[in-house]
Structures are given as structure tokens and as C-alpha cells.
Chains A and B, each alone.
Chain A
């Protein structure tokens, strides 16, 4: 057992150590947010990667001079060409209503418009077959002038790259927080060793091993770290709940849905334990190292 509940040293009375739970609470709060961001972004990137990497959108410009039947023929010929292309699994024509909905941020909510709308075809491709989008684009353009293909993979790759950068930043913030927490514990432990030098000497002279003294500091730091961790986690949970509520109210269309995988929830739940463990082990290491310099 590397921690101890009973203590021969009056560690509870240290003015500085009384602030430790609050300092750790703040750090755990920041760590929880960084960790939630890390897992949320990772999940988002993963969902985008699997959900959209194998999709294309074909856009056929509307011909204002052609009648509806002619436009339908053009659409059908595009669909035929796509179905004959190796690697295309499914094609879905986006309904006019859906197109209007997509344009609503610019046009407002309308049921119909006077101008002709472009037709959109969602294309699902087989991720195992490499489809040359440029060749497909040229093939479609030759038959239907002005046809464009949006390859989601290209912008998705950039988006995922950005998300990965944010993830690295969050991991960096997390590492900084852990370092700051360890630094705080080292500082308060060293102060405690100085304040209680007299009592520690008495313990030593009565035959106490360094580990006996270290166990008392570690036990205290563990308890304060765990308590701080619980406070920090509770505050972080409240913040995440408010953020999720606000995001919901802002409309799902504007913000991507951020949700945590099970591992994310578990990692948040164990934060108080981790904070206690980091504090306890840091205190123990600090005491053992400092006492080693004494006779």
C-alpha cells in the first residue's frame, strides 16, 4: 500500500495544502473539457471519414431554355452514365424540396422558386475501388455541359486534417495540465516537508523509513487530488451539459453533432481517480527524493 490514511504529521493544517483540492479541481475541469474535445473531435472525424469519404455529389446545371421533359432526359442520361461507371454503388437524385432546403440560408424558406434549380445526384462509391473522379468529370461534361462533381474526399481530407490538428492541440493542453498539476503537488509537498521538518526528523530518529513518511504525504495528496478531481469533474459535466444544450438550440445544421464514444465517457469518469493517483505518486516521489538527501 503506497498511500496511508492515518498520519503522524499535521498535514491537514497546512494553509497551502488546503488550496490544493481547488487548484486540482480547476485543472481537472480544464482537463475534462480538453479530453471531451479530444474524444468528441476524434469521433467526429471518424464519422466523417467513414460516412462521407466514399461519396460524391454530381451537380447538373439547369437549362432555362429546355422544358421539363428535356431536363429529365438529361438527368436520366447522367444517371445511366454513373450506373455504368465501375465503383459506383448507388445513385440518389436529391429532391427539389431538399435542394430548396439546402439553399434556404440564402433564399429563405420557400416552397418554390421561379428560377430553374440545378439537379443534384448523391453518388455512393465503393471505398475499395479507386474511382478516378477527374475521368468521370470529363466523361459527364462531354455529354452534359457544365456538369460538376464535388468530391467530398478532398475537402473532407482537409477538414479531418484540421480536426486532427485540434486534437493534437487538445492533447498538448492535457499534457500541460498534467504537468502543471504535478508541479503544484511538488511545490506543496516540498513546502510541507519544510514546514514539518522538525516532526519528520523525530520520525526519522524513531526509526521511520523514508517510505513511511512518504506514504503519509502521498495519502494526503491522493485524498486532495481525488476530492479536487470530483469537484472539477462535476463542474466540467455541468459545462458540457450547457454546451450541448446551447448547441442543440443553435440547430444541428449549423454545428456538427459532437458526441463522445464510450471510451470518452469512461476516461472522464476516471479523471478524479487519475488526479488522485497523479497527486499521490508525485507527492511520494517528491518526498522520497527529498529525504534521500538527509542522513
Chain B
């Protein structure tokens, strides 16, 4: 999907989310992600980070408020339009969510296959990317035989193979050692330089401080946004909770 640079990638206005009849896990969340921005999403466990990501990668619809993705109002977008929007979004899940019966190659190829790409092109793209993430020798391996780091890389490869405009990662460094964690963050930095909008949910405050991108902090379902300290990155963003403006 071509993204108009003037259009925000994601815009949330007074968004609330509750599961069933339970309490709201997100309350009056308002923010906007500009194309090419890079944000960290932080907060204690249970603060609603994963729920916010689920809204962003269209696994849920909000209970209230407005969610715009790539200029489309999710509440009114027809169901048939959602797959095309999802193809513009890459997600690195916390638990990888690789399909265990498929090889690494086939897992990474999924987004291209569902988009209807020709098998010859799929082979070329996937092999190229697997070489890049260091899984060349594990193309035919199934996820249960891969280490945590290898699964993580396969998961990232699957998230970026279709060149998404928005890449989200939920605790990507949670299950890997520090060295691997920094390598992954470097990978995200590179993708961001290529224009991909990035949102990384993490508990790693040291890394957040070090990289200096804007921080969206969730606490008790409310969001507070802190501007980034890093220069040169298109890190717009902003604001708020409890009905706060942008």
C-alpha cells in the first residue's frame, strides 16, 4: 500500500478498549504516528501495551474512540478492506507465533503468499532475507528445532518480508540475550532509516534511554508521551491521556 507522506500512519483519538464486560484496559488514548517515526511503547506489565498493539495491528476493534490507520477509520472500514491494511503492517509477536508445521522458509513466505506473489519471486525474496537475518542454513528447519534467537529472527523476517509501512514489535528483546537484543534494535534502526514506521513495546528502559526515540508510556490504561532525545529522526508524536490533546 502506498502511503501518502502527509497522511498519518496511525491516529488514535480518545480510544478505549475493554474485553467483554471487564474494565477498560485502555482509556482515552490519543496519539498520532507520522510516517517514518520510531516510538517505544513502555509501561509495567498489564498496562495495556499488548492491547494497544492489538488495536494497531487490527486484531481488535476499539470499544470506543476513533482509530485511523493509513487514513482509514477502522470502525467504519468494511471487513474486506482490512486484509489490505494488514499487509501494510508487520508484527513481531512476543511469542513469535511462527507456524510450527511450516519450515522457516514457508513461515517467512506467508505474507507474500497471502498477497498472491508468484512462487519464483517469493523464493528469491525469502532466500535473500533469510541470508540477511542469518538463517540461510535453517531455511528448511521447523520452528521447534530453532533456538530463541533464531525464532526471533524468523519472526522479524516474516514481519518485514512484505516491506510494511508500519512495523510493530512486542517485547522483541524479551527472550534473547543483550547482544542479540541490541542487534535486533540495530535492525529496526536500519528499517526505520528506509522509511518504515516503527513501534517497539519493551520493558528494557536502558535501551529506550540509549536509543533516544520518543516514548509512549502506558500506565493503568492511560498514555503519556515523552518526546525523543535523538536528533534527525522523524519522531513526531504525541500526546496524551485523559482526554488530552495532541
Contact = CB atoms under 8 A, between A and B. Distances in A.
Does A associate with B in a complex?
Answer: yes
Interface of A: 8, 10, 13, 198-199, 201-209, 212, 292, 295
A8 B61 contact: no
B83 A202 contact: no
A8 B110 contact: yes
A206 B91 CA distance: 8
B146 interface: no
B183 interface: no
Contacts of A204: 83, 86
19 contacts: A8-B106, A8-B110, A8-B113, A202-B99, A204-B83, A205-B57, A205-B59, A205-B91, A206-B110, A206-B114, A206-B158, A207-B84, A207-B87, A207-B115, A208-B83, A209-B80, A212-B114, A292-B79, A295-B82
Contacts of A212: 114
A253 to B, nearest CB: 63
Contacts of B57: 205
Interface residues of B, number: 25
B111 interface: yes
Interface in B15-68: 57-61
A203 B114 contact: yes
B63 to A, nearest CB: 13
A287 to B, nearest CB: 15
A208 B102 CA distance: 16
B97 interface: yes
B242 interface: no
B101 interface: yes
B61 A295 contact: yes
Given A8-B106, A13-B101, A207 B114 contact: yes
Contacts of A207: 83-84, 86-87, 111, 114-115, 162
B114 A209 contact: yes
Contacts of B102: 8
Contacts of B106: 8
Contacts of B97: 198, 202
Query: Which among B58, B60, B101 has the greatest number of chain A C-beta atoms within 10 A?
Result: B101
Query: Which among A201, A202, A204, A206 has the greatest number of chain B C-beta atoms within 10 A?
Result: A206
A201 B79 contact: no
A199 B98 CA distance: 8
Given A207-B83, A207-B111, A295 B60 contact: yes
